[in-house]
Chains A and B, each alone.
Chain A
Amino acid sequence: MNNESRFDRETTSENSLISESETSNRRSFIISIAAATLSTSGFLAFLASCSRNEKESHTLEPLPKSSIPNSMDKRHQIPTPQLSPTQPDIRKDINQQFDPPAEPIENRSFTIGKMNEEIHINHLLRRAGFGITPSELVYYRQIGLEKTLDHLVNYEAVDNSTLDTRLDDLKLKPSERQSDLRRWWILRMIYTNRPLEEKMVLFWHGLLTSGISTGDPLSMYQQNELFRAKGNESYVHLLKAISKDPAMLVWLDSRKNKKNAPNENFARELMELFTMGEGTFEENDVKEASRAFTGYFLVNGKYTFNDAQHDFGPKNFLSQSGRFSGDQIINVIFQQPETAEYISKKLFAFFAHDSPDIQTIEKLSTILRTNDYNIKTLMEHLLSSEEFYSPRAYRSKIKTPAEFAVGLIRNTGAETDGRKIANLMSEMGQTLFEPPDVAGWPDGISWISSNTLIQRLNYVHSITLSNLKGTTFDPNTSIIPTFSHSPDGFLKGCLETMLDGNINPSSHGILMTQLRTLENLTDESGKKVFSNEEIKRQLAFFVLASPEFQLS
């Protein structure tokens, strides 16, 4: 085969590294062929032929709804959800909302498959959790979106003992070793049966920030458990608890907050970052509030109130006067209208998108104010709202490193003991328990810089095409077991699980072309160059490395 002349004619500047073809090296052969197929004219021709063939089938074939795999891996077992005894009215709204929309969603004319319940389920699992596992996908599609939502939101009813067993077996010491602490939490995110519980912990960790570098694993471990225990209850209680949390006291330099020279750090961040937001208070309010938090001491790692150091005098805070204690300052803060708005916006931005309507925030704020700032109540509304499932929310976020790293394991059905993942997440820009500063992690586009994007791609590579210690990805047994074990079926399974079955036709064409190329490649003796497993690994790589997969 006269490959060389074909290359010479069709090489672009990027392909100029290929100077000779060595047919003895099968990898070079395949790459040369693939590169040639992607030269401009060849690629366009392929694309044209792909489009012609794909024209009627812009939807991926829907999964057979009635097939649950016989041997569901234990780790993905989903206990029968126990529906809560009271049925809130929101359920009616959900049913009405989720008939497939009459017209295509704006900007989505390119997608395969309209926004529909299946896509909503994947979206919900990504936002209210860390992504869907292959067996969850089968199961949740069977029970439908409404029941899935119920199962996620009422997580206290869900048995999590398989997670506990898994963690016990690994004998980790999260309260004693930093690396164990991170690994412990990452494994929780991956293998919990209560995804929303862990997602809420991540939310609080990013909002009520503390860092391990000024504390020790024990206090950060305890703070993490505090978020797990109280993260779904009244925000007032959580905040009062956080004001006395040892890790927080250390992080905001309030170990010894003394009467005659109060430390302003906690008081400022309490208002600016945790409750009301910038510009809603005066410098004087910071000074007065700091007086109320004097006497908060840390002794032997435990919070103590040192009343000799407390300023019992009268304070003027946010136009109210009184001999406020720290808790009472918090009460005054919750009386301000800004507080409910601020926390609503934070939750909405984290779970839905960055530009809520004023009415949406008003609605959520009212829910908070009339329910003692109960977070679970708010989340029920948020996760069943029209806005949450709107095009503005769909794929509108960049996955944080936690969502990316954990989500990949979940989506692929990989098995891991978690040992390397925390470090790789740090390389992507997020070190758990070490937010860059007290504002937590900046969201959105800042996650993607040249360095961090390379790291994300390298993570994908390490799991699909290389060997990441402690993690096993077996393409023959992962992904959706009900699909045929052919590479075609495998690709479909990947696209359904990882990309909601929702990818633009050109990109789909690229993947299909690559699949055929890899499949059809034979050496001189007519033997196939790539095994099915190798082909599947490459496909998994491209889907997980794709730009769509970077998005939540």
Chain B
Amino acid sequence: MGLLDSIFAAGIGDSPPNKNGSNRSLIVIQLKGGNDGLNTVVPYGDGLYYDARPELAIPEERVLRLTNEFGLHPSLSEIKSLWDQGHVAIIQGVGYPNQSFSHFQSQHIWKTADPFSRKSDGGDGWLGRQLANLPSKDFNWFKGISLGKTYPISPMATEELALPAIKNLRSYQLAGQSNDFKSSNFNLNILKSLYQQSDDFDPYTHHLNATLQGALSTSATLNDSYNNYSPLADYPAGNFGQELKLLASTITEKLGVRVAHLTIKGFDTHADEPTRHSELLKELSEGISAFYQDLQRHELDREVIIMTWSEFGRRVAMNGSYGTDHGSAAPLFIIGTSIQGGLYGDHPNLGNLEKGNLTFTTDFRSVYRTVLEDWLGHSDDIISHQPKFERIPIFVTEK
């Protein structure tokens, strides 16, 4: 229980901002289901795009142009504005060797940064393990949080730590307890003792105890912080927008969030893709825009970057249900004031498909290495010591 003891000895607060990365946050958003990258960052300048998916391709006149060759899906108008301000990096053709077309395997691969794993559960996520490896004096319960419904496929999940997973504020409060201790319905200490006493007797009791302690440590603080926070932007109404708002409150109230993970479900567009994809991208765009604006107005935008990922892209050609099947490489976005906007990497060659799928040009581990080392100042045992995962120069160089 050594780690837990020292965790509770540590207070909640930041370590002094004297090291590279110590005030910075990395926000990671999963587009769950497999995002159709070709219709997200559209190669409208390439005739093969229109030849390959005539009924599904975004018409040239509707594309939001970024360059002579590439543009964005029309739903991404807010992201286009951020692009115009120079804050959006798009990494093209991100994928990995030995592509898996299974959601679960591929998510696991992105989660653990191990493309040769064919498992679909267990293991430590690349984000969570940064926190598990922190010296205990640097740990606080808010360093790594997940928002929304979470499952162990999340890159935050580790076998050792029970990091806070917060669906929403309302459901994150223990009933029968009040700030005015005297009005509580039951003695919380008894409950805590029961969990402590059972710790390690049964397979899960250690995790239960750790989770309870984490929940109790974060619940009141989260509540108070949200009540103190003033949003300086209008967030869209759905779950994603509200989760971003809650996340913003933890950042503006300086709870010490280093890494956060959120998810938008529904990208597995096997059927009726145009409508569904359009709505999802709009949700993404509006949410990110509100969040960014909020941070900007709080003057915290320099300290946060947002990264998207998806377990794979989609097949180039349309299927028979007006959608697409599971594919391979896709672009991802990295957004922030500290980002040097632009297109990075090479777009996969539409003339050289492999069984109907794109060939990746950037290994996702390069992206991970870039954000971990150049932004958070961490080196990861699995990714950092392999020189072939070159870092991508997406950051504004310090003046």
Chain A residues engaging chain B, CB cutoff 8 angstroms: 14-15, 17-18, 22, 25, 27-28, 30-31, 34-35, 38, 43, 107, 110, 252-253, 255-265, 268, 272, 278-279, 283, 395-396, 398, 427, 429, 436-439, 442, 444-446, 448-455, 457-458, 461-462, 465-466, 504, 506-507, 510-511, 514, 538, 541-542, 545-548, 550-551
Contact = CB atoms under 8 A, between A and B. Distances in A.
Contacts of A452: 165
B189 A35 contact: yes
A278 B105 contact: yes
B326 to A, nearest CB: 8
A464 to B, nearest CB: 9
Interface residues of B, number: 72
A427 B167 contact: yes
A480 B163 CA distance: 39
28 contacts: A18-B182, A28-B181, A31-B184, A253-B270, A261-B319, A263-B271, A263-B319, A263-B320, A263-B323, A265-B325, A278-B102, A283-B355, A442-B153, A445-B152, A448-B211, A449-B165, A452-B165, A453-B211, A454-B171, A455-B171, A457-B175, A465-B185, A514-B190, A541-B186, A545-B194, A547-B198, A547-B202, A550-B204
A398 B204 contact: yes
A256 B184 contact: no
Given A439-B103, A454-B172, A547-B209, 10 more contacts: A35-B189, A256-B321, A263-B270, A449-B146, A451-B166, A451-B167, A454-B171, A506-B197, A547-B199, A547-B204
A253 B198 contact: no
A453 B105 contact: no
B149 A550 contact: no
Contact of A38 (B121, B164, B189): B189
Contacts of A545: 191, 194
Given A442-B121, A451-B165, A461-B185, A253 B207 contact: no
Interface in B144-169: 146, 149-153, 157, 162-167
**Secondary structure at chain B's binding surface: helix, strand, loop or mixed?**
loop
A139 B287 CA distance: 57
Contacts of B97: none
A506 B196 CA distance: 10
B74 interface: no
- Which 3 A/B pairs are nearest by Cβ-Cβ distance? A261-B320, A28-B182, A449-B165
B368 interface: no
B257 to A, nearest CB: 14
A38 B203 CA distance: 26
A14 B189 contact: yes
Given A18-B181, A255-B271, A265-B325, A442 B151 contact: yes
A492 to B, nearest CB: 17
A395 B202 contact: yes
Interface string B353-387: 00100000000000000000000000000000000
Given A22-B182, A541-B186, A465 B176 contact: yes
A212 to B, nearest CB: 15
Given A451-B166, A542-B191, A17 B181 contact: yes
Contacts of A506: 197
Nearest to A17: B181
B195 interface: yes
Given A253-B323, A263-B271, A445 B102 contact: no
Contact of B162 (A110, A252, A449): A449
A364 to B, nearest CB: 22
A551 B215 contact: no
Contacts of B268: 437
B125 to A, nearest CB: 12
A298 to B, nearest CB: 12
A201 to B, nearest CB: 23
Nearest to A445: B207
A444 B171 CA distance: 21
Interface in B100-120: 101-105, 118, 120
A355 to B, nearest CB: 11
Given A38-B190, A110-B201, A546-B194, A451 B270 contact: no
A549 B80 CA distance: 52
A462 B175 CA distance: 8
B81 to A, nearest CB: 32
By CB atoms of chain A within 10 A, which of B118, B184, B186, B268 has the most? B186
